[in-house]
Amino acid sequence: MRNPVLVFALITAFGVGLSSAALAGEMVDVYKSPSCGCCGKWIDHLKDAGFEVRAHNVMDVPAARKQLRMPDRLGSCHTAKVGGYVVEGHVPAADIQRLLREKPKALGIAVPSMPPGSPGMESPKPVPYNTLLVQASGETTVFAKH
């Protein structure tokens, strides 16, 4: 190929594809109640996005959350760990991929509560919600709006 712009475009596209696949192939450890149906739907959402998932059924999800240092006020029905970050609640897979790609200095990300319309909480009446970037101090900022 003699067109340097085309060569650059192909290399860039191939590199982006590889990095997205690598991010999606990350192992996600999910701590959830054995009886939670929406947690299973969220796990399916992650698998559909290419993540590998290990589900750990625990009887005390808040204790698992506390052990991972995620503040209770940001709690949901499951807590996960991926790439050194904590992920709380029904966080979209795209937000997790962005977190892993950008690598901010943070404890992790959270979608507090269980907003209708979030992954695993599909609803005919979705509500707007935010994914929050959570610092080790517990302070939060908006990471993504949905």
* pLDDT at residue 106, rounded to an integer: 99
Mean pLDDT by 10 residues, the chain (146 residues): 47 46 75 95 98 98 98 97 98 99 98 98 97 99 99
* pLDDT at residue 9, rounded to an integer: 44
Q: What homologous superfamily is domain 26-145 in, according to CATH?
A: Glutaredoxin (3.40.30.10)
Domain locations in the chain as residue ranges? 26-145
Helix, strand, coil percentages for the chain (3-state, nearest 5): 35, 25, 40
Give the pairing type, strands 108-111 and 85-89.
parallel
* pLDDT at residue 136, rounded to an integer: 98
Contact yes or no for 104/95 (Cβ under 8 A): no
* pLDDT at residue 23, rounded to an integer: 56
